[in-house]
Amino acid sequence: MSSEQQPSSAGSAAPRQEMLGAENYVQLVDIRKEYDGFVAVDEVNLAIRKGEIFALLGASGCGKSTLLRVLAGFEQPTRGEVKVDGQRMNGQPPYRRPINMMFQSYALFPHMSVEQNVAFGLKQDGMPAAQIKQKVDEMLGLVQMGAYAKRRPHQLSGGQQQRVALARSLAKGPKLLLLDEPMGALDKKLRSQMQLELVNIIERLGVTCAMVTHDQEEAMTMAHRIAIMDAGKIRQVGTPDEIYEQPNSRFTAGFIGQVNLFEGKIEDDEKDYISIRSPDLPAPLYVGHGVTGYEGMEVALAVRPEKILISKDEPEQPHNKAQGVIEEIAYLGSHSVYHVRLPSGKRVLANMTNVRRWASESFTWNDQAWLSWGDQSGVVLTS
Amino acid sequence: MNAVIGWLRQRLPGPRWLVIGVPFLWMLLFFAVPFAIALKISFSQALIAMPPYSPIVEWNDTALTLKLSFNNYLYLIRDNVYVSAYLSSLGIAVVSTAICLLIGYPMAYAIARMSPANRNICLMLVILPSWTSFLIRIYAWVGILKNNGLINNMLMGIGLIDEPLQILHTPLAVYVGIVYAYLPFMILPLYANLVKLDHRLLEAAYDLGAKPWQAFIKITLPLSRAGIIAGSMLVLIPVVGEFVIPEMLGGPDTLMIGKVLWGEFFNNRDWPVASAVAIVMLALLLIPIMIFHHHQSKELESKLS
């Protein structure tokens, strides 16, 4: 995962926030789901805004899919409440919910044509045939599949199947659209193209959307807000840039992108700065803002590799620096990743963007190099 | 020397031909040849001789004469006992196939939805009876259905009836026997089909507003069509020619073509008419077989394209 891309895509998501409406359009209150004593989802509280694309991100088995199935109505929560647009959803079977889902492997009906697949939900609602025809044409036009209306699903490519699945789940105009691993069945190149297209279609219709994914790049590209899940619990909710730049724990800092964690104790706790003494580094760590803590408190400073500057000469600043030996270099074209071993044995990652051609040639293996970062570059983590 | 081996290699059938050749030879020996013999006999005339029919090809002095007698076929049409036997056989076969489908579909569906461990036990229970001889199993039904048999004794024992019910030697007994004997042939192909059904398709249907019964009608049923057709053919085709069950459980008024054939062959010793009866039965069955085959190849085609 390239860490360069993430802040930029996160930045693009921020302005979208302003278009969003009602704060608590979809609400999950104290949701808990147990299977024979195993707790899959634990005390989850979430509020999704109207028109928002909300991603549940986590490793497999973290409970994100269970949560999605609770929303869809395939699972009933052991405890807690699900509300959509003020309506209580508990006890409602999936076929009575104003919620539609795009399934992971699309689950298109193999014995029906593209057209019939999209019309299925409308027929269930008892819509008159002429209206169904019009709606199906509109939906297939939206996903640019109008020319394939008579085909069967098995005659379509993976990307085309996904478009049909999207049209089918949008046809009924759901209050909430659920996407289960939307790009899971696509190859990498098609994935990035479809991610943006999917977002465009969803935003054009203004439909509220909850998606589940294990791919952080996908979550950051597509979602307005992300919830990081682990072991059935939500660890952090925020916009992609908040999650990346202001993780609230060692777990989320490590889960999204790459990070250097310097463990240490608060040495100096002032109103507008703190300093941390870490056994990993000879120089003290200096953070240019206050934190709610106390002297001697055990904390970690998280610094992303792209915020660490690598240089030949010793930087002038008295803190936030260390000298080490370059052990590994990963040249990735747009940037290089340097693995630097400090005298304490700590290994630190530092990225250097290759702004000049052949810039990577200035360092080689076993070179001594200085690492340094600004006093606003790190995040102090207490949990 | 090498040239000889090379020559042999080219001329002798390779392992690929062996694989294809064995079933081919089987079909030839046990289907094509007997069929040809029966076809030949059906065009000859009955004689009191050994064998009891006239030859159709004869060499008289200088002329080779081929004498095809259509008498036997005309006889089948003229005497309406044969026509009604065919119709009643087909009727019994269609009705019992429908009953097998009605009973077998829910059973196959339930087995396909079970946990794998329970599934194997239930499949075993479906197959287990066929480990006993077919004849013995049908004979056991005589003991169950007869006037002082299991059912009548039980019903009289609990005082529901005073006189035994006549079940054995009625059409009901024939249906009971046929459905019992052929149910596994319906369940197994249906099970094989239903177990492959992707549960997510049903979830997608619910999600789009279909109630469970609507999802069953619109998704499960059409997707299991191949299993329904396979199971129905496996029951329908052998039941049309069934002899043992109507003979043992049916009465004198149960008219089935298998019984007629037996009568022609063993009681009347009229081999040509018996052969004609068999050939017409085969021709009748060919129609459903061809429908089945046509459907299967269409299914295969749509999967490959």
Q: For residue B216, list chain A residues with Cβ-Cβ distance below 8 A.
A: none
Q: Report the candidate in A101, A184, A271 with the shortest Cα–Cα distance to residue B204.
A: A101
Query: How much is the pLDDT for A82?
Result: 94
- Interface A-B: count of C-beta contacts within 8 A: 58
Cα–Cα–Cα angle for B282, B285, B290, rounded to 5 degrees: 120
Query: How much is the pLDDT for A20?
Result: 57
Nearest CA in chain A to B305: A155
Q: Are B185 and B215 in contact (CB under 8 A)?
A: no
Give yes or no for A105 touching B (CB within 8 A).
Answer: yes
Task: Classify the C-alpha dihedral A215-A216-A221-A226 as positive or negative.
Answer: positive
For residue B46, the 8-state DSSP code is: B
Residue whose pair of structure tokens reads 């463990």 in the numeric block: A263
Contacts of A307 (CB under 8 A, 6+ apart): A373, A374, A377, A378
Query: CA–CA separation, A237 vs A30, rounded Å?
Result: 15
The reply to whether residue A101 touches residue B207, judged by beta carbons under 8 angstroms, is: yes
Range of the domain at B205: 75-304
Residue B132 lies in a domain: yes
Residue B4 lies in a domain: no
User: What pTM does this model have?
Assistant: 0.80
Query: How much is the pLDDT for A21?
Result: 62
Interface residue of A74, A100, A109 to substitute, partner B, most B CBs within 10 Å: A109
The domain ranges of chain A are 5-98+174-252, 258-381
The reply to whether residue B201 touches residue A168, judged by beta carbons under 8 angstroms, is: no
Query: What would the two tokens of residue B133 be?
Result: 């001889």
Fold classification of A5-98+174-252 is Rossmann fold (3.40.50)
Q: Are A81 and A52 in contact (CB under 8 A)?
A: no
Query: What would the two tokens of residue B112 be?
Result: 């396909």
For residue B218, the 8-state DSSP code is: I
Print pLDDT tens along chain B (305 aa): 777 777 777 777 677 788 888 889 999 999 899 999 999 999 998 888 888 888 888 888 888 888 888 889 999 888 888 999 999 999 999 999 999 999 999 999 999 999 999 999 999 999 999 899 999 999 999 999 999 899 999 999 998 888 888 999 999 999 999 999 999 999 999 999 999 999 999 999 999 999 999 999 999 999 999 899 989 999 999 999 899 999 999 988 888 998 889 988 899 889 999 999 999 998 888 877 887 778 777 776 666 55
Residue B175 lies in a domain: yes
Residue B14 lies in a domain: no
Of B200, B205, B305, the CB nearest to A105: B200
Beta strands at A347-353 and A79-84: parallel, antiparallel or unpaired: unpaired
Contacts of B73 (CB under 8 A, 6+ apart): B42, B276, B280
Residue B46 lies in a domain: no
Q: Report the candidate in A129, A201, A114 with the shortest Cα–Cα distance to residue A161.
A: A114
Query: How much is the pLDDT for A19?
Result: 52
- For the structural domain made of A258-381, what CATH number should be given? 2.40.50.100
Q: For residue B295, list chain A residues with Cβ-Cβ distance below 8 A.
A: none
Strands (E), A173-320: 176-180, 208-213, 225-230, 233-238, 260-269, 274-277, 285-287, 298-303, 309-311
The reply to whether residue A103 touches residue B200, judged by beta carbons under 8 angstroms, is: yes
A329's enclosing H/E stretch is: strand A321-331
- Chain B: closest CA distance from residue A118 (Å): 10
Q: How many C-beta atoms surround the C-beta of residue A337 within 10 A?
A: 18
Of A95, A101, A109, the CB nearest to B219: A109
Per DSSP, the residues of A279-325 read: TT-SSPEEESS--S--TT-EEEEEE-GGG-EEESSPPSSSSSEEEEE
Number of independent structural domains in chain B: 1
Query: What would the two tokens of residue A15 be?
Result: 């302005």
Could you tell me the end-to-end alpha-carbon distance of chain B, in angstroms, rounded to an integer? 48
Residue B134 lies in a domain: yes
Query: CA–CA separation, A296 vs A281, rounded Å?
Result: 17
A258: burial class by Cβ within 10 Å (0-12, 13-18, 19+)?
middle
Domains A5-98+174-252 and A258-381 share a fold: no
Nearest CA in chain B to A171: B208
- Chain B: closest CA distance from residue A344 (Å): 54
| Parts of chain A with a pLDDT under 50 | 1-17
Residues of B with CB under 8 A from a CB of A: 198, 200-201, 203-211, 214, 218-219, 222-223, 302-303, 305
For residue A78, the 8-state DSSP code is: S
Residue B96 lies in a domain: yes
Q: Are B201 and A111 in contact (CB under 8 A)?
A: no
Q: Report the candidate in B175, B151, B169 with the shortest Cα–Cα distance to residue B161.
A: B151
Query: How much is the pLDDT for B56?
Result: 85
Q: Report the candidate in A383, A372, A378, A382 with the shortest Cα–Cα distance to residue A288.
A: A378
CATH number assigned to the domain comprising residue B250? 1.10.3720.10
The reply to whether residue A100 touches residue B201, judged by beta carbons under 8 angstroms, is: no
Query: CA–CA separation, B262 vs B264, rounded Å?
Result: 6
CB within 8 Å of chain B, chain A residues 246-305: none
Q: Report the candidate in A93, A199, A203, A201 with the shortest Cα–Cα distance to residue A144.
A: A201
Query: How much is the pLDDT for B302?
Result: 65
Residue B107 lies in a domain: yes
Helices (H), chain B: 2-11, 15-27, 33-42, 71-78, 80-113, 116-127, 134-145, 150-157, 171-194, 199-207, 212-215, 221-223, 225-240, 244-249, 257-262, 271-304
Q: For residue B214, list chain A residues with Cβ-Cβ distance below 8 A.
A: 124
Nearest CA in chain A to B201: A107
